[in-house]
Amino acid sequence: MSKLVIVSNRVPSAAVGRSSAGGLAVGVLDALKRQDGLWFGWNGKIEENPAEAGLSTYRIGRLDCATTSLSREEYDAYYRGFSNGTLWPAFHYRVDLARYASREYAGYIAVNERMASMLMELVDEDDRIWVHDYHLIPFARACRRKGLRNRIGFFLHTPFPSEGVLRTIPPHRELVEALCDYDLVGFQTRGDAQAFLDYATRRLGLPLDADGVLRTRSRRVRVGHYPIGILPDEIQNKSKARSRSKLVTTLKQGLQERKLIISVDRLDYSKGLVERFNAFERLLETYPSHCGRVSFLQIAPPSRSDVEGYRHIRRQLESTAGHINGRWTELSWTPIRYMNRAYDRAALLSFFRASQVGFVTPLRDGMNLVAKEYVAAQAPEDPGVLVLSEFAGAADELADGAIIVNPYDIEAMACALHRALNMPLPERLERHGHMMQLLRDNSIRQWRDHFLADLEPLAVAA
């Protein structure tokens, strides 16, 4: 029987399972853990001669996992270098933070080649292959060179930049050509898909059919947008079940009836954390009635701390939080609580439910699952308000329910916080009901089913 093969840079360990802080792992697990299949990728370990060490295998739910390690050189060039030093910043429009080294790009290609060779041993003729994210753009190309003819789909979890920004990555043309070796290329939003199509049609001169299918010399490449979702009802039940836990009781005791604004992110410069801290301070300056009556909790565990740019954002944030707290703290009130640690997801959901405002303001984000989780975790009879950046993919769906802000506009964000903190119950109920319905209609199951249906062979054109 044919199986579904998932390929991603990182495969969570069996023990870590659901508590991993990362959108891809959370999304893929929610979508696929109850179906048979194979998940192939890096196990997070660095060792000498990983190619000779072979694969480690284990199971998560019904998924078989097969993983490989990386050598130090591979890690430096492929992961730390081209993936996270070049592609991640450029795809998030931070060309000021992106650097390029041809040696790292060569390492990126080489790891894709090696991983493709390992996968060849695990794949049967009629298996479907679903490749995830920017680390693996040339994966299908490597597989095709080795003779693999299976259907291969690619989903990009990050934004796809417009041509002007994409061209700051020197091998931009090769990257887009490599994407054209997939049968299906999926993006989070219509805008991302359009940016890719613009490049492919204008720069590569590829013809585009009316139904969004690109024609190359060797294949027809379907291109679409598949906004990743969550399991809203499961999240609602979990947040309710944990709403009287010891952690939440402690949180509420510390708040002493104050309102709570919450933000939860991986510590990443794309998430707009410094601007957010400044907006909270502007709220206190502009609307002093909130002083002593509102606290802001930011949970942001460090990620990729060995990549340049991440150490800097951490220092910057610590100094901003220190400065604001130094200025505003009173004996019985600390305005910003900034925590550098991860919590398990159930705990986070219960914190969301205990907060009156979810403050989600990335400068750029493919989707941002935290925004959706915040909405789903609310008590339906007394929901909090989502303040959301217009540059998160989630804003495409949640624009009518959330208060949408421009994260570069500190004053407007302060106004939005004020409005959210004062929003009357009927308006909160209406906005929340509307967003919950959208989340149910576009859940992670629809994401999976829609993508996999489109990965099926295209009908032969007349």
Q: Choose among 9, 12, 223: nearest CA to 136.
A: 9
| Nearest residue to ligand ADQ, scored by beta-carbon proximity | 23
Buried b (16+ CB within 10 A) or exposed e, 202-224: eeeebeeeeeebbeeeebebbbb
Marked catalytic residue, from 92, 157, 225, 432: 157
- Does 228 engage in binding with ligand ADQ (CB under 6 A)? yes
Q: Encoding tokens for residue 328?
A: 């505003």
- Does 397 engage in binding with ligand ADQ (CB under 6 A)? no
- Does 191 engage in binding with ligand ADQ (CB under 6 A)? no
- Does 345 engage in binding with ligand ADQ (CB under 6 A)? yes
- Does 414 engage in binding with ligand ADQ (CB under 6 A)? no
List the one residue from 227, 366, 383, 384 that touches ligand ADQ (CB under 6 A): 366
Pair 418, 280: CB distance under 8 Å: no
- Does 375 engage in binding with ligand ADQ (CB under 6 A)? no
Name the minimum Å distance from CB 203 to ligand ADQ. 25
Region of 75-83, 110-118, 208-216, 366-374 interacting with ligand ADQ (CB under 6 A): 366-374
List the one residue from 9, 11, 12, 23 that touches ligand ADQ (CB under 6 A): 23
Name the minimum Å distance from CB 336 to ligand ADQ. 16
List the one residue from 3, 18, 22, 247 that touches ligand ADQ (CB under 6 A): 22
Region of 10-18, 140-148, 361-369, 402-410 interacting with ligand ADQ (CB under 6 A): 361-369
Pair 64, 38: CB distance under 8 Å: yes
List the one residue from 67, 86, 158, 389 that touches ligand ADQ (CB under 6 A): 158
Q: Choose among 263, 272, 227: nearest CA to 366.
A: 227
List the one residue from 4, 7, 11, 21 that touches ligand ADQ (CB under 6 A): 21
**Closest CB to ligand ADQ among 181 and 373?**
373
**Closest CB to ligand ADQ among 183 and 397?**
397
- Please work out the total of residues on this chain that contact ligand ADQ, with binding judged by CB under 6 A: 25
Marked catalytic residue, from 132, 133, 365, 432: 365
- Spell out the residues 6+ positions from residue 460 whose beta carbon is closer than 8 angstroms to its own: none
The answer for 105, left when phi > 0, alpha when psi is -120 to 50, beta otherwise, is alpha
> What is the length of the chain?
462
Find the angle CA(109)-CA(112)-CA(117) to the nearest 5 degrees.
Answer: 125
Region of 20-28, 245-253, 322-330, 379-387 interacting with ligand ADQ (CB under 6 A): 20-28
Q: Encoding tokens for residue 372?
A: 């959706």
- Does 157 engage in binding with ligand ADQ (CB under 6 A)? yes
| Whether 365 is catalytic | yes
| Whether 157 is catalytic | yes
Longest dimension (CA), the chain: 76
- Does 123 engage in binding with ligand ADQ (CB under 6 A)? no
- Does 348 engage in binding with ligand ADQ (CB under 6 A)? yes
- Spell out the residues 6+ positions from residue 88 whose beta carbon is closer than 8 angstroms to its own: 134, 158, 270
Question: Helix or strand or coil: residue 186?
Answer: strand
Place of tokens 């999304």: 27
Region of 163-171, 232-240, 261-269, 277-285 interacting with ligand ADQ (CB under 6 A): 261-269
List the one residue from 181, 183, 265, 275 that touches ligand ADQ (CB under 6 A): 265
Q: Among residue numbers 295 through 314, which ones bind ligand ADQ (CB under 6 A)?
A: 299, 301
Question: Helix or strand or coil: residue 263?
Answer: strand
Region of 234-242, 273-281, 365-373, 382-390 interacting with ligand ADQ (CB under 6 A): 365-373
Name the minimum Å distance from CB 207 to ligand ADQ. 30
Region of 121-129, 360-368, 379-387, 431-439 interacting with ligand ADQ (CB under 6 A): 360-368
Q: Count Cα neighbours of 93 within 13 Å in the Cβ-side half-sphere.
A: 15
Beta bridge partners of 154: 131, 185
- Does 343 engage in binding with ligand ADQ (CB under 6 A)? yes
**Closest CB to ligand ADQ among 175 and 347?**
347
Buried b (16+ CB within 10 A) or exposed e, 282-303: bbbeebeebeeebbbbbbbebe
Q: Choose among 303, 216, 335: nearest CA to 25.
A: 303
The H helix count followed by the E strand count for the chain is: 19, 15
Instruction: Give the C-alpha separation, 42 to 70, whole Å.
Output: 7
List the one residue from 116, 193, 369, 439 that touches ligand ADQ (CB under 6 A): 369
Instruction: Give the C-alpha separation, 141 to 180, whole Å.
Output: 8
- Does 68 engage in binding with ligand ADQ (CB under 6 A)? no
Catalytic residues: 157, 365
Q: List interacting residues with ligand ADQ (CB under 6 A).
A: 21-24, 26-27, 157-158, 228, 264-266, 299, 301, 342-343, 345, 348, 365-370, 373
